[in-house]
């Protein structure tokens, strides 16, 4: 057997095994007890007439085959065969898997072409003994259930050994499984290849996960290092803490370089740095909350400024409208200038107010507020200085009062109402104190105001639309 089957690959696991046992080392009662000893289907033939190449008689031996319902290992089947050995002796040195169960079965009696060509002794088929339901026909025909079991074995073989290609699996299976498995390998090649592909994808995923973990660990270490450095820079006033932080960072860097990515050694230090980073994140969060609160307050102040800008814009428009109405009324007053009395010298305050008003359009937001305050202050200085206007202009003044009071109601703030009253008192004082030929007379001042208004309007391209006297009323 050994010479003829010498080309057969060494198989580690199989369902069918055969061996050569020498009778001189076998139990004396092996023929009577073989059924109970093996407890497996078997077939054997005693070779008592074999001769070697010199024609001399070879030692008597037994060729035997055993069959298992599933695959078993070489080590286990050797223990089964040695159950036939005499105590303290070994009836066989090795065994082999049956690549072709029919060929092995025929070889028991040398019923093969090669045996006949070599002139080996031909034994009668009656000398081939079987037991424990040995059925060569059933072994040649693999059932569907057996195929599924064999497929399960091959799948388990792929998973256990981690084959990633069908080629690697096939080469290994040809060495580790007997010939009856070849049909399964060929017939279920696609299924087996998918399991190999699954191993490949699993191995690839693990490698990617490992690489990702290493990268993440590096990022964590780098992030922890960066956070620790920022914390050290922010806490320079605490020199002891700074030195300790730098020492910790140096130790972490040294250990990181020494270990070259050994995550286990860095885990504890990364945790410490993450804790520090978490504390810094808390502090930063508090500062950001404070900044958000300040931003909210600033936004409120800006909204208030925008509202005040709107009110100021409205007041500017109303002031322009009042100016236009005053010009129209001044033209009416010019017709009755003969009735005007003497104006007191404090009319210069009105010139100052007019000058401030001319500069108002070109002033900034805060400067405008100062101008309004100055106008109010000057207005208050004139309060009580203007006496009763001439009787002839009282009707015109009453019409002006109606328009001014309407604008004052729309203007709203106290400053506008106070300005209206102050203007009426100033006009009365001008009526009383100045004559018609005085340079400070209402006519002269009205003409001067008109010239200033024309000059102002010529330099203002975005002048708001003016309403007529009838519209203001």
Domain identity same for 323 and 425:
yes
> Two tokens at 282?
């808390």
Residue 459 backbone phi and psi in degrees, to 5: -90, 0
- Percentage of residues in the chain with pLDDT exceeding 70? 69
Q: Are residues 99 and 65 in the same domain?
A: yes
pLDDT in tens, 168-210: 989 888 888 877 788 788 878 888 889 999 988 988 888 888 8
Lowest-confidence pick of 123-132, 397-406, 422-431:
422-431
Question: For residue 111, what are its two tokens?
Answer: 């019923």
Residues 48 and 110 reside in one and the same domain: yes
Gap between the Cα atoms of 97 and 104, Å rounded: 10
On whether residue 376 sits in a domain, the answer given is yes
pLDDT of 382 reads 64
| Residue 360, both tokens | 């108002």
Does the pLDDT value for residue 339 go beyond 90?
no
- Burial class of residue 473 (count of CB atoms within 10 Å of its CB; 0-12, 13-18, 19+): exposed
The pLDDT of residue 5: 39
Domain boundary, last residue among 215, 232, 249:
232
Task: Please give the Cα distance from 132 to 43 (Å, whole number).
Answer: 9
**b/e burial code for range 205-217 (CB count within 10 A of at least 16 → b):** eeeeeeeeeeeeb
| pLDDT for 473 beyond 50 | no
Q: Does 158 lie in the same domain as 123?
A: no
Give the per-residue pLDDT at 94: 93
The reported pLDDT for the residue numbered 369 is: 76
Average the pLDDT over 124-138 and give the result.
93
Residue 432 lies in a domain: yes
Query: What percentage of residues in the chain have a pLDDT greater than 90?
Result: 24
Is pLDDT larger for residue 83 or for residue 346?
83
- Domain span at residue 416 reads 307-472
Instruction: Say yes or no: 467 and 327 in one domain.
Output: yes
In a domain, 186, yes or no: yes
Task: Indicate whether 431 and 342 sit together in one domain.
Answer: yes
pLDDT of 371 > 50? The answer is yes
In a domain? residue 2: no
For the segment 52-76, the average pLDDT, to the nearest whole number, is 90
Residues 332 and 445 in one domain: yes
Supply the mean pLDDT for the chain.
77
Backbone angles phi, psi at 66, to 5 degrees: -125, 150
Residue that wins the pLDDT comparison between 298 and 68? 68
Mean pLDDT across 415-428: 57
Q: Looking at the structure, do residues 133 and 152 belong to the same domain, yes or no?
A: no
pLDDT over threshold 90, residue 77? yes
Task: Give me the number of domains the chain comprises.
Answer: 3
Number of CB atoms found within 10 A of residue 141's CB: 9
pLDDT at 414: 47
Residues paired with residue 47 on neighbouring β-strands, in sequence order: 61
Residue 442 has phi, psi (to 5 degrees) of -60, -40
Q: Over the chain, what HEC string results?
A: CCCCCCCCCCCCEEEEEEEEEEHHHECCCHHHHHHHHHCCCEEEEEECCCECCCCCECCCEEEEEEEEEEEEEHHHHHHHHHHHECCCCCCCCCEEECCCHHHHHHHCCCCCHHHHHHCCCCCCHHHCEEECCCCHHHHHCCCHHHHHHHHHHHHHHHHHHCCCCHHHHHHHHHHHCCCHHHHHHHHCHHHHHHHHHHHHHHHHHHHHHHHHHHHHHHHHHHHHHHHHHHHHHHCCCCHHHHHHHHHHHHHHHHHHHHHCCCHHHHHHHHHHHHHHHHHHHHHHHHHHHHHHHHHHHHHHHHHHHHHHHHHHHHHHHHHHHHHHHHHHHHHHHHHCHHHCCECCHHHHHHHHHHHHHHHHCCCCHHHHHHHHHHHHHHHHHHCCCCCCCCHHHHHHHHHHHHHHHHHHHHHCCHHHHHHHHHHHHHHHHHHHHCCCCCCCCHHHHHHHHHHHHHHHHHCCCCCCCCCCHHHHC
For residue 294, being part of any structural domain is answered with no
pLDDT band at 4 (very low <50, low <70, confident <90, very high): very low
User: Tens of pLDDT along 281-337?
Assistant: 788 788 888 778 877 877 887 887 778 778 777 777 777 776 777 677 677 666 656
Buried b (16+ CB within 10 A) or exposed e, 9-42: eebebbbbbbbbbbbeebbeebeeebeebbebbb
Per-residue pLDDT averaged across 418-435, rounded?
A: 59
Final residue of a domain: which of 216, 232, 248? 232
Question: Looking at residue 76, what is its pLDDT?
Answer: 94
The pLDDT assigned to 468 comes to 41
What local confidence, expressed as pLDDT, does residue 311 receive?
Answer: 76
pLDDT over 60 (residue 471): no
Together in a domain, 322 and 458: yes
Boundary residue ending a domain (85, 110, 141): 141
**What are the tens digits of pLDDT across the range 348-363?**
667 677 777 777 777 7
* 346 within a domain of the structure (yes/no): yes
Band of residue 6 on the pLDDT scale cut at 50, 70, 90: very low
Q: What is the CATH number of the domain that holds 70?
A: 3.40.1310.30
Q: Does 248 map to a domain?
A: no
- pLDDT digits 0-9 by tens, 9-48: 467 778 899 999 999 999 999 999 999 999 999 999 999 9
User: pLDDT digit string (tens) for 372-418?
Assistant: 877 777 767 766 665 555 565 567 667 767 776 776 676 555 454 45
Query: Is residue 29 assigned to a domain?
Result: yes
The torsion angles phi and psi of 57, rounded to 5 degrees, stand at -65, 130
If asked whether residues 183 and 130 sit together in one domain, one would say no
Tell me what pLDDT residue 424 has.
60
What is the reported pLDDT for 61?
A: 95
Model's pTM, two decimal places? 0.38
Q: How confident is the model at residue 472 (pLDDT cuts 50, 70, 90)?
A: very low
* pLDDT value of position 297: 79
Residues 111 and 183 in one domain: no
**Whole-number pLDDT of residue 67:** 93
- Of residues 224 and 86, more confidently modeled: 86
Higher pLDDT residue, 152 or 331?
152
Q: Which burial class, exposed, middle or buried, applies to 190 when counting CB atoms under 10 A from its CB (0-12, 13-18, 19+)? A: exposed
Domain identity same for 117 and 163: no
């Amino acid at each position: 057997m050994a010479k003829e089957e010498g080309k057969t690959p060494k198989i580690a696991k199989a369902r069918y095994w055969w061996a050569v046992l020498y009778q001189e080392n076998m139990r004396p009662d092996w023929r009577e007890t073989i059924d109970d000893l093996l407890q497996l289907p078997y077939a054997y033939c005693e070779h008592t007439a074999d001769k070697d190449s010199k024609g001399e008689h070879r030692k008597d031996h037994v060729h035997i085959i055993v069959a298992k319902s599933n695959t078993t290992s070489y080590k286990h089947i050797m223990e089964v065969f040695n159950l036939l050995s005499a105590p303290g002796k070994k009836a066989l040195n090795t065994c082999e898997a049956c690549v072709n169960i029919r060929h092995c079965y025929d070889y028991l009696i040398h019923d093969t072409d090669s045996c006949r060509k070599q002139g080996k002794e031909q034994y009668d088929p009656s000398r081939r003994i079987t037991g424990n339901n040995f059925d060569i026909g059933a072994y040649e025909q693999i059932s569907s259930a057996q195929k599924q079991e064999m497929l399960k074995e091959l799948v388990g073989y792929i998973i256990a050994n981690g084959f990633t290609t069908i080629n690697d699996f096939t080469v290994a299976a040809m060495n580790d499984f007997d010939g009856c498995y070849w049909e399964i390998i060929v017939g279920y090649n696609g299924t087996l290849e998918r399991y190999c592909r699954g191993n490949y994808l699993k191995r690839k995923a693990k490698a990617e996960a490992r690489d990702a973990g290493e990268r993440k660990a590096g990022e964590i270490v780098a992030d922890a290092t960066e956070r620790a450095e920022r914390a050290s820079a922010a806490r320079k006033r605490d020199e002891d803490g700074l030195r300790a932080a730098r020492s910790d960072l140096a130790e972490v860097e040294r250990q990181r370089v020494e270990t070259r990515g050994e995550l286990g050694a860095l885990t504890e230090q990364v945790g410490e740095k993450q804790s520090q980073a978490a504390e810094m994140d808390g502090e930063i969060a508090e500062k950001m909350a404070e900044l958000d609160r300040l931003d909210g307050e600033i936004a409120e102040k800006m909204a208030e400024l925008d509202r005040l800008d709107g009110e100021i814009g409205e007041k500017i428009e109303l002031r322009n409208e009042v100016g236009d109405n005053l010009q129209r009324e001044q033209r009416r007053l010019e017709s009755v200038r003969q009735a005007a009395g003497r104006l007191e010298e404090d009319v210069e305050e009105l010139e100052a107010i007019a000058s401030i008003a001319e500069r108002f359009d070109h002033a900034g937001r805060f400067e405008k507020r100062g101008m309004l305050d100055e106008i109010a202050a000057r207005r208050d200085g004139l309060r009580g200085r203007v006496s009763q206007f001439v009787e002839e202009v009282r009707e015109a003044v009453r019409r002006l009062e109606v328009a001014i009071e309407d604008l004052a109601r729309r203007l709203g703030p106290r400053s506008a109402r106070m300005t209206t009253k102050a203007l009426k008192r100033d006009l009365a004082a001008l009526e009383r104190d100045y004559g018609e030929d005085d340079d400070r007379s209402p006519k002269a001042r009205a003409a001067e105001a008109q010239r200033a208004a024309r000059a102002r309007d010529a330099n203002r391209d975005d002048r708001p639309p003016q309403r007529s006297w009838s519209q203001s009323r």
